[in-house]
């Protein structure tokens, strides 16, 4: 008997030890997963900040660059203006789908208007077979969608009394996730209503197919399918995050027509959906100034992009056309306010200090030029309207009370539980549903369960990084969540394997970020190495890395993965930087100088965006004249100095195929050559 009791005690102790070990093991896995998540999210938000800064720079150039010829004025007008189909006969003709012929040998899906359910299901099956819809049908579908969306209010109203409503979050071009939602939940129908809460495009590879399917179901079931606008339904965002390139790659000569038409389709999307007058569905969130009545009155179709606010460019061009004397006189008039720069533009102002007509670093105009004095602030009402839309598309919830600028994203705000509570009480609401943020489990409650984030793109950062989810609301307005995993590979991995794979991907992205800022890191390390010993403490390493990358990461916790070797508890930073450089160069196919590779890594997203802005017809080519004009505008922003007299010779020299145009690879080559000239 005593022996049996002793055996039971030993078994119990063993079970307790195993349980403790397992809990510690799971806790370590969870910590690794959270650290990996922080890396991905910080890098994502950093990219959004960079893009917003580039757009601030575009605005600053439009507002301040002093053109010296009619060609330069026309060029700036063409590059930075937002086209309008109703006022542009050429564009209207270019987007006319009736001029496009569908060849007899076309084997893809065909649509007949008005659309039927058979048309939608044939699209779904065709896209599963990797078929492509002909440009004729795409343009016609988008034209019909634009007509329908233009008749809708800014805030759609739905009721759950007829059937439950399914709310889906970001899809980001991941068509398989949309197919999985339809498989699990059913296709849209009178008994199966959907709200898709924005960010249909970018990042994924099948954004255009998602739009085609959603728009088709929207036209077939206009009362059952509802689409909200997200922050990625913005053509300036599309230039950076892949949708523009996807459309041009798939539709080539018709791609530009599709993209220009989509500007108007995106701007016509409703801004929010109200369910039973109790649940508000918006893409981003709210702020302490969000006003639903004002949102309902805004002419949303005028907002092609929240990142291009150039409402005073026509006034500037009129002043410029009048000549320097007129500008000088105008600057002395009382009705022209003095130059007032928002804080976020200060760095841009410094970077363009050498541009003709701007203040130099000493604060005075360059010799022989006139300084235009004007206000950067838009009219108060317009600015208020833009902020209303910006806040609901870009904002994120925050655990602390208050409302502050969203510095991490560079747009919108962080709103706390108190802001949520006041907003809900003011509008008689009980729940806010939003998307905009990737969540580990596909959804998340916050603010005393009064805010729900729903995200429907699984494996968003890497295979196994997150689940997707959608929610269902019935008459009781109690949310029911359905999670899914869109990748078979991720489903087959164990939790440990999944976390290890995602972790490896995250650290590789972080090392690339470090490599892109290698020179800045070296300078920061040297400042902290007061004895010039070549080694620094781990604390100094963490301080220096954060001061350069500004990602807000727990660097000391990440150190074992990033700093494998120490000397007496200290880091040989020159050796560490060399190791990072060798790793990145070994993964790059081009054999180019380390300094050039670093510069390209750092500026590639900006370079792609700049090239896309120049390439107004999205043909993938820019002319010599466009190249010359744009180089003057952007050389200071990219910290590249090259004499204007050499630009034309440079353009001819990098036109390798001698076709009189420059493609993006040639554009990159010009960037590398000019950087070599300044080294």
pLDDT in tens, 482-526: 999 988 777 777 878 888 888 888 888 888 888 878 888 999 999
> Is the alpha carbon torsion for 286, 290, 296, 302 positive or negative?
negative
- Tell me 409's DSSP state: T
> Is residue 392 within 8 Å of residue 231, measured between CB atoms?
no
> Is the alpha carbon torsion for 310, 316, 320, 322 positive or negative?
positive
Mean pLDDT, residues 450-470: 94
pLDDT of amino acid 639: 57
Dump pLDDT digits (tens) for 60-76.
555 555 555 565 556 55
Backbone angles phi, psi at 34, to 5 degrees: -70, -40
Residue 606 in this model has a pLDDT that exceeds 80: no
Mean pLDDT, residues 315-325: 38
Of 395, 403, 439, 394, the C-alpha closest to 421 is 403
pLDDT of amino acid 580: 79
When comparing pLDDT for 33 and 621, which is higher? 33
Classified as helix, coil or strand, 226 is: strand
Q: Looking at 188-202, 623-637, 662-676, which range is the least confident one?
A: 662-676
> Is the alpha carbon torsion for 196, 199, 201, 206 positive or negative?
negative
Residue written as tokens 């500026």?
A: 603
Residue 370 in this model has a pLDDT that exceeds 70: no
Q: What span, in angstroms and rounded, lies between the C-alpha atoms of 392 and 76?
A: 31
Q: Which tokens belong to 13?
A: 């102790």
pLDDT of amino acid 416: 97
Highest mean pLDDT among 241-245, 332-336, 452-456: 452-456
Counted residue by residue, the chain has a size of 679
- Peptide bond between residue 114 and the one before it cis (omega within 30 degrees of 0): yes
Highest mean pLDDT among 8-17, 443-452, 625-634: 443-452
> Is residue 572 within 8 Å of residue 525, measured between CB atoms?
no
Distance of CA 624 to the CA centre of its chain: 30
Of 607, 613, 593, 580, the C-alpha closest to 667 is 607
Classified as helix, coil or strand, 67 is: coil
pLDDT of amino acid 648: 64
> Is residue 634 within 8 Å of residue 610, measured between CB atoms?
yes
> Is residue 199 within 8 Å of residue 283, measured between CB atoms?
yes
Longest dimension (CA), the chain: 109
Q: Which tokens belong to 549?
A: 């990358």
Backbone angles phi, psi at 103, to 5 degrees: -65, 155
Residue written as tokens 């420059």?
A: 662
Classified as helix, coil or strand, 170 is: strand
Residue 310 in this model has a pLDDT that exceeds 70: no
Whole-number Cα distances in Å, 527 to 54, 530, 536, 552, 576: 29, 6, 10, 21, 16
pLDDT of amino acid 127: 97
> Is residue 484 within 8 Å of residue 184, measured between CB atoms?
yes
Q: What span, in angstroms and rounded, lies between the C-alpha atoms of 418 and 447?
A: 8
> Is the alpha carbon torsion for 556, 557, 559, 565 positive or negative?
positive
pLDDT of amino acid 658: 61
When comparing pLDDT for 540 and 75, which is higher? 540
pLDDT of amino acid 378: 37
What dihedral do alpha carbons 441, 442, 447, 451 form, nearest 10°?
-160
Dump pLDDT digits (tens) for 115-156.
999 999 999 999 999 999 999 999 999 999 999 999 999 999
| Residue 358 binned pLDDT confidence (cut-offs 50, 70, 90) | very low
Residue written as tokens 């119990």?
A: 12
Mean pLDDT rounded to a whole number for the chain:
78
Residue 366 in this model has a pLDDT that exceeds 50: no
Q: What span, in angstroms and rounded, lies between the C-alpha atoms of 629 and 631?
A: 6
When comparing pLDDT for 334 and 425, which is higher? 425
- Tell me 19's DSSP state: H
- Peptide bond between residue 110 and the one before it cis (omega within 30 degrees of 0): no
pLDDT of amino acid 365: 34
Q: What span, in angstroms and rounded, lies between the C-alpha atoms of 240 and 565?
A: 37
Residue 595 in this model has a pLDDT that exceeds 80: no
**Annotated active-site positions, please?**
232
Of 678, 56, 671, the C-alpha closest to 351 is 56
pLDDT of amino acid 616: 63
| Residue 350 binned pLDDT confidence (cut-offs 50, 70, 90) | very low
- H or E stretch at 353: none
> Is residue 132 within 8 Å of residue 298, measured between CB atoms?
no
| CB neighbourhood size of 224 (10 A) | 19
pLDDT of amino acid 158: 96
Classified as helix, coil or strand, 484 is: strand
Q: What span, in angstroms and rounded, lies between the C-alpha atoms of 355 and 352?
A: 5
Mean pLDDT, residues 339-365: 36
Of 665, 626, 621, 664, the C-alpha closest to 647 is 626
Dump pLDDT digits (tens) for 261-278.
999 999 999 999 999 999
When comparing pLDDT for 24 and 614, which is higher? 24
Residue 338 in this model has a pLDDT that exceeds 90: no
| Residue 228 binned pLDDT confidence (cut-offs 50, 70, 90) | very high
Dump pLDDT digits (tens) for 4-34.
777 778 888 888 899 888 888 888 888 888 8
- H or E stretch at 182: helix 175-185
pLDDT of amino acid 208: 97
Q: What span, in angstroms and rounded, lies between the C-alpha atoms of 55 and 234?
A: 13
Highest mean pLDDT among 43-52, 101-110, 307-316: 101-110
Q: Which are the contacts of 371, defined by CB distance < 8 A and separation ≥ 6?
A: 331, 357, 358, 359, 365
What dihedral do alpha carbons 494, 500, 506, 509 form, nearest 10°?
-120
pLDDT of amino acid 363: 37
Q: Looking at 222-231, 306-315, 498-507, 609-618, which range is the least confident one?
A: 306-315
pLDDT of amino acid 81: 57
pLDDT of amino acid 65: 53
- Tell me 363's DSSP state: S
pLDDT of amino acid 204: 93
pLDDT of amino acid 328: 35
> Is residue 466 within 8 Å of residue 484, measured between CB atoms?
no
Whole-number Cα distances in Å, 492 to 107, 461, 463, 501: 36, 18, 11, 13
| Residue 409 binned pLDDT confidence (cut-offs 50, 70, 90) | confident
Residue 573 in this model has a pLDDT that exceeds 80: yes
Residue 297 in this model has a pLDDT that exceeds 90: yes
3-state SS, one letter per residue, for 427-473: HCCCEEEECCCCCCCCEEEECCCCEEEEECCCCCCCCCCCCEEEEEE
Residue 389 in this model has a pLDDT that exceeds 70: yes
Q: Looking at 45-54, 86-95, 267-276, 313-322, which range is the least confident one?
A: 313-322
């Amino acid at each position: 008997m005593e022996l049996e009791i002793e055996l039971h005690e030993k078994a119990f102790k063993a079970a307790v030890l195993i349980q403790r070990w397992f809990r510690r093991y799971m806790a370590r896995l969870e910590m690794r997963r959270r650290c990996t998540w922080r890396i991905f999210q910080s890098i994502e938000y950093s990219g959004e900040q960079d893009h917003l800064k580039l757009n601030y720079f575009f605005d600053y150039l439009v507002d301040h660059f002093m053109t010296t010829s009619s060609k330069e004025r026309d060029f700036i007008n063409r590059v930075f203006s937002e086209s309008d189909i109703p006022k542009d006969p050429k564009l209207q003709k270019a987007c006319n789908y009736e001029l496009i012929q569908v060849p007899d040998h076309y084997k893809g899906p065909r649509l007949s208007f008005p659309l039927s359910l058979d048309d939608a299901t044939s699209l779904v099956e065709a896209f599963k077979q990797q078929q492509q819809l002909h440009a004729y049908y795409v343009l016609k579908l988008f034209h019909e969608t634009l007509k329908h969306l233009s008749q809708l209010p800014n805030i759609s109203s739905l009721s759950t009394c007829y059937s439950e409503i399914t709310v889906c979050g970001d899809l980001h071009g991941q068509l398989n996730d949309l197919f999985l939602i339809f498989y699990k939940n059913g296709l849209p129908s009178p008994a199966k209503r959907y709200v898709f809460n924005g960010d249909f495009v970018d990042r994924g590879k099948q954004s255009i197919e998602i739009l085609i399917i959603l728009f088709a179901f929207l036209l077939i079931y206009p009362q059952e399918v509802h689409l909200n606008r997200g922050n990625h339904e913005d053509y300036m965002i599309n230039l950076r995050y892949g949708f523009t390139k996807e459309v041009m790659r798939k539709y080539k000569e018709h791609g530009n027509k599709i993209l220009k038409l989509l500007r108007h389709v995106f701007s016509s999307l409703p801004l929010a959906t109200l369910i039973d007058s109790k649940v508000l569905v918006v893409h981003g969130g709210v702020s302490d100034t969000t006003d639903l009545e004002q949102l309902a009155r805004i002419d949303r179709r005028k907002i092609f992009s929240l990142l291009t606010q150039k409402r005073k460019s026509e006034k500037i061009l009129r002043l410029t056309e009048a000549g320097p004397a007129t500008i000088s006189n105008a600057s002395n008039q009382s009705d022209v306010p003095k130059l007032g720069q928002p804080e976020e533009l200060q760095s841009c102002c410094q970077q363009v200090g050498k541009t003709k007509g701007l203040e130099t670093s000493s604060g005075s105009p360059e010799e022989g030029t006139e300084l235009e004095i004007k206000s950067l602030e838009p009219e108060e009402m317009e600015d208020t309207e833009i902020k209303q839309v910006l806040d609901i598309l870009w904002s994120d919830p925050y655990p602390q009370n208050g409302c502050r600028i969203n510095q991490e994203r560079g747009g919108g705000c962080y709103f706390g539980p108190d802001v949520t509570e006041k907003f809900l009480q003011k509008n008689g609401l009980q729940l806010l549903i939003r998307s905009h943020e990737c969540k580990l489990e596909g959804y998340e409650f916050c603010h005393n369960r009064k805010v729900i984030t729903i995200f429907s793109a699984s494996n968003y950062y890497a295979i196994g990084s997150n689940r997707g989810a959608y929610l269902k609301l019935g008459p009781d307005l109690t949310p029911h969540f359905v999670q899914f995993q869109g990748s078979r590979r991720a489903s087959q991995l164990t939790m440990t394997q999944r976390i290890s794979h995602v972790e490896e991907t995250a650290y590789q992205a972080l090392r690339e970020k470090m490599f892109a800022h290698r020179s800045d890191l070296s300078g920061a390390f040297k400042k902290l190495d007061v004895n010039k010993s070549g080694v620094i403490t781990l604390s100094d390493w963490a301080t220096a890395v954060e001061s350069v990358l500004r990602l807000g990461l727990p660097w000391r916790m990440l150190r074992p993965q990033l700093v494998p070797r120490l000397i007496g508890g200290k880091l040989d930073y020159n050796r560490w930087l060399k190791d990072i450089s060798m790793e990145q160069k070994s993964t790059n196919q081009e054999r180019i100088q380390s300094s050039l590779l670093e510069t390209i890594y750092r500026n590639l997203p900006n370079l792609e965006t700049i090239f896309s802005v120049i390439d107004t017809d999205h043909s993938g080519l820019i002319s010599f004249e466009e190249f010359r004009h744009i180089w003057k505008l952007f050389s200071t922003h990219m910290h590249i100095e090259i004499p204007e007299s050499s630009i034309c010779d440079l353009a001819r020299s990098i036109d390798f195929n001698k076709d009189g145009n420059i493609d993006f690879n040639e554009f990159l080559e010009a960037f590398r050559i000019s950087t070599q000239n300044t080294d």
